[in-house]
Amino acid sequence: QGPSAVAQYSVALTIAQLAAQPTTLLGAALLPHFAELVATGHSAAARETFRAVTRVFALVAFPLCFGLAALAPVLVPLVFGRSFAGAVPPSLVLSGFTSFAAVVPATGAILYAHGETRVVAALSLSTGIAAVVGFALLTLQGLSELIKRIAFLTGHGPDPMLRVDPLAAEKELAKDLGH
Protein backbone atom coordinates (compact mmCIF):
# COMPACT_ATOMS: atom_id res chain seq x y z
CA GLN A 1 0.00 0.00 0.00
CA GLY A 2 2.45 2.71 1.17
CA PRO A 3 2.71 5.76 -1.09
CA SER A 4 -0.16 4.57 -3.25
CA ALA A 5 -2.54 4.58 -0.29
CA VAL A 6 -1.39 8.07 0.69
CA ALA A 7 -2.00 9.29 -2.86
CA GLN A 8 -5.47 7.72 -2.92
CA TYR A 9 -6.36 9.32 0.42
CA SER A 10 -4.99 12.69 -0.72
CA VAL A 11 -7.26 12.63 -3.77
CA ALA A 12 -10.25 11.57 -1.63
CA LEU A 13 -9.59 14.37 0.85
CA THR A 14 -9.23 16.91 -1.96
CA ILE A 15 -12.62 15.91 -3.36
CA ALA A 16 -14.27 16.09 0.07
CA GLN A 17 -12.75 19.45 0.99
CA LEU A 18 -13.67 21.01 -2.32
CA ALA A 19 -17.33 21.11 -1.32
CA ALA A 20 -16.55 22.71 2.06
CA GLN A 21 -14.66 25.67 0.61
CA PRO A 22 -17.59 28.11 0.19
CA THR A 23 -18.77 27.79 3.80
CA THR A 24 -15.23 27.78 5.19
CA LEU A 25 -14.41 31.05 3.44
CA LEU A 26 -17.72 32.70 4.34
CA GLY A 27 -17.47 31.55 7.97
CA ALA A 28 -14.20 33.41 8.46
CA ALA A 29 -15.69 36.55 6.90
CA LEU A 30 -18.57 36.60 9.42
CA LEU A 31 -16.44 37.48 12.48
CA PRO A 32 -16.45 41.27 11.92
CA HIS A 33 -20.21 41.25 11.36
CA PHE A 34 -20.95 39.23 14.50
CA ALA A 35 -18.46 41.29 16.53
CA GLU A 36 -20.18 44.51 15.47
CA LEU A 37 -23.62 43.18 16.37
CA VAL A 38 -22.45 42.01 19.79
CA ALA A 39 -20.43 45.19 20.50
CA THR A 40 -23.45 47.40 19.73
CA GLY A 41 -25.70 45.39 22.04
CA HIS A 42 -27.56 43.48 19.34
CA SER A 43 -26.93 39.98 20.71
CA ALA A 44 -30.39 38.79 19.71
CA ALA A 45 -29.72 39.90 16.13
CA ALA A 46 -26.34 38.11 16.24
CA ARG A 47 -28.04 34.90 17.39
CA GLU A 48 -30.71 35.17 14.68
CA THR A 49 -28.07 35.88 12.05
CA PHE A 50 -26.08 32.88 13.27
CA ARG A 51 -29.16 30.64 12.95
CA ALA A 52 -29.90 31.95 9.46
CA VAL A 53 -26.27 31.57 8.35
CA THR A 54 -26.15 28.02 9.70
CA ARG A 55 -29.29 27.15 7.73
CA VAL A 56 -27.85 28.69 4.55
CA PHE A 57 -24.55 26.86 5.12
CA ALA A 58 -26.50 23.60 5.42
CA LEU A 59 -28.42 24.38 2.24
CA VAL A 60 -25.12 24.95 0.44
CA ALA A 61 -22.91 22.31 2.07
CA PHE A 62 -25.15 19.25 2.03
CA PRO A 63 -25.98 19.33 -1.69
CA LEU A 64 -22.36 20.17 -2.59
CA CYS A 65 -20.86 17.43 -0.43
CA PHE A 66 -23.34 14.73 -1.36
CA GLY A 67 -23.39 15.87 -4.99
CA LEU A 68 -19.60 15.53 -5.19
CA ALA A 69 -19.89 12.15 -3.49
CA ALA A 70 -22.42 11.06 -6.12
CA LEU A 71 -20.16 12.31 -8.92
CA ALA A 72 -16.91 10.95 -7.43
CA PRO A 73 -17.02 7.64 -9.34
CA VAL A 74 -16.98 9.67 -12.58
CA LEU A 75 -14.96 12.72 -11.50
CA VAL A 76 -12.01 10.98 -9.83
CA PRO A 77 -10.96 8.89 -12.86
CA LEU A 78 -11.76 11.78 -15.21
CA VAL A 79 -9.74 14.41 -13.32
CA PHE A 80 -7.01 12.32 -11.68
CA GLY A 81 -6.86 9.28 -13.99
CA ARG A 82 -8.01 5.67 -13.76
CA SER A 83 -5.12 4.78 -11.47
CA PHE A 84 -6.85 6.82 -8.75
CA ALA A 85 -10.15 4.94 -8.91
CA GLY A 86 -9.29 3.52 -5.46
CA ALA A 87 -9.85 7.03 -4.07
CA VAL A 88 -13.58 6.83 -4.79
CA PRO A 89 -14.69 4.83 -1.69
CA PRO A 90 -12.80 7.01 0.81
CA SER A 91 -14.01 10.16 -0.96
CA LEU A 92 -17.59 9.00 -0.43
CA VAL A 93 -17.04 8.56 3.31
CA LEU A 94 -15.06 11.80 3.69
CA SER A 95 -17.63 13.78 1.71
CA GLY A 96 -20.37 12.54 4.02
CA PHE A 97 -18.52 13.63 7.15
CA THR A 98 -17.36 16.89 5.53
CA SER A 99 -20.99 17.83 4.91
CA PHE A 100 -21.47 18.19 8.67
CA ALA A 101 -18.14 19.96 9.23
CA ALA A 102 -18.96 22.43 6.45
CA VAL A 103 -21.93 23.75 8.42
CA VAL A 104 -19.98 24.86 11.51
CA PRO A 105 -17.55 27.60 10.32
CA ALA A 106 -19.88 30.32 11.62
CA THR A 107 -19.70 28.80 15.11
CA GLY A 108 -16.15 30.02 15.70
CA ALA A 109 -17.07 33.51 14.51
CA ILE A 110 -20.04 33.80 16.88
CA LEU A 111 -18.04 32.41 19.80
CA TYR A 112 -15.22 34.90 19.22
CA ALA A 113 -17.72 37.75 18.84
CA HIS A 114 -19.21 36.89 22.24
CA GLY A 115 -15.74 36.70 23.78
CA GLU A 116 -16.00 32.95 24.40
CA THR A 117 -12.31 32.35 23.76
CA ARG A 118 -12.19 29.64 26.45
CA VAL A 119 -14.71 27.57 24.51
CA VAL A 120 -12.72 28.04 21.31
CA ALA A 121 -9.51 27.15 23.17
CA ALA A 122 -11.12 24.03 24.65
CA LEU A 123 -12.35 22.95 21.23
CA SER A 124 -8.90 23.58 19.74
CA LEU A 125 -7.24 21.66 22.57
CA SER A 126 -9.60 18.70 22.13
CA THR A 127 -8.90 18.72 18.39
CA GLY A 128 -5.16 18.74 19.12
CA ILE A 129 -5.50 15.84 21.54
CA ALA A 130 -7.52 13.89 18.99
CA ALA A 131 -4.81 14.54 16.39
CA VAL A 132 -2.06 13.32 18.75
CA VAL A 133 -4.07 10.18 19.57
CA GLY A 134 -4.68 9.61 15.85
CA PHE A 135 -0.98 9.94 15.04
CA ALA A 136 -0.14 7.59 17.93
CA LEU A 137 -2.56 5.01 16.54
CA LEU A 138 -1.10 5.43 13.06
CA THR A 139 2.38 4.93 14.52
CA LEU A 140 1.23 1.71 16.18
CA GLN A 141 -0.27 0.55 12.88
CA GLY A 142 3.01 1.33 11.12
CA LEU A 143 4.98 -0.61 13.74
CA SER A 144 2.59 -3.53 13.35
CA GLU A 145 3.15 -3.55 9.58
CA LEU A 146 6.91 -3.30 10.09
CA ILE A 147 6.87 -6.27 12.48
CA LYS A 148 4.84 -8.34 9.99
CA ARG A 149 7.29 -7.59 7.19
CA ILE A 150 10.34 -8.35 9.34
CA ALA A 151 8.73 -11.62 10.43
CA PHE A 152 8.14 -12.54 6.79
CA LEU A 153 11.66 -11.58 5.71
CA THR A 154 13.22 -13.66 8.50
CA GLY A 155 10.99 -16.66 7.72
CA HIS A 156 8.85 -16.35 10.87
CA GLY A 157 5.56 -15.28 9.33
CA PRO A 158 3.34 -15.27 6.26
CA ASP A 159 3.74 -12.78 3.43
CA PRO A 160 1.83 -9.66 4.60
CA MET A 161 1.44 -8.48 1.01
CA LEU A 162 -0.31 -11.68 -0.09
CA ARG A 163 -3.91 -10.88 -0.93
CA VAL A 164 -6.38 -13.46 0.28
CA ASP A 165 -9.82 -13.61 -1.28
CA PRO A 166 -12.19 -12.51 1.51
CA LEU A 167 -14.87 -14.83 0.14
CA ALA A 168 -12.58 -17.87 -0.14
CA ALA A 169 -14.35 -19.79 2.66
CA GLU A 170 -17.79 -19.07 1.20
CA LYS A 171 -16.68 -20.11 -2.29
CA GLU A 172 -15.18 -23.34 -0.95
CA LEU A 173 -18.42 -24.10 0.90
CA ALA A 174 -20.49 -23.34 -2.23
CA LYS A 175 -18.24 -25.68 -4.23
CA ASP A 176 -18.64 -28.42 -1.62
CA LEU A 177 -22.41 -28.01 -1.72
CA GLY A 178 -22.40 -28.27 -5.51
CA HIS A 179 -23.44 -24.70 -6.29
- In one-letter notation, the amino acid at residue 132 is V
Q: Per-residue pLDDT tens for 70-101? A: 999 999 999 998 888 889 999 999 998 898 88
d(C-alpha 17, C-alpha 99), whole Å: 9
Q: Per-residue pLDDT tens for 126-172? A: 989 999 999 899 899 989 989 998 999 999 988 887 777 767 777 88
Rounded to two decimals, the pTM is 0.63
Task: Tell me what the mean pLDDT of segment 111-130 comes to.
Answer: 88
Distances (CA, A) of 53 to 8, 29, 67, 92, 167: 34, 12, 21, 26, 48
31 three-state secondary structure: helix
Taking alpha carbons only, the member of 51, 56, 41 closest to residue 114 is 41
Q: Answer yes or no: are the C-beta atoms of 16 and 95 closer than 8 Å.
A: yes
d(C-alpha 97, C-alpha 107), whole Å: 17
d(C-alpha 86, C-alpha 147), whole Å: 26
- In one-letter notation, the amino acid at residue 38 is V
Task: Tell me what the mean pLDDT of segment 50-68 comes to.
Answer: 91
d(C-alpha 106, C-alpha 49), whole Å: 10
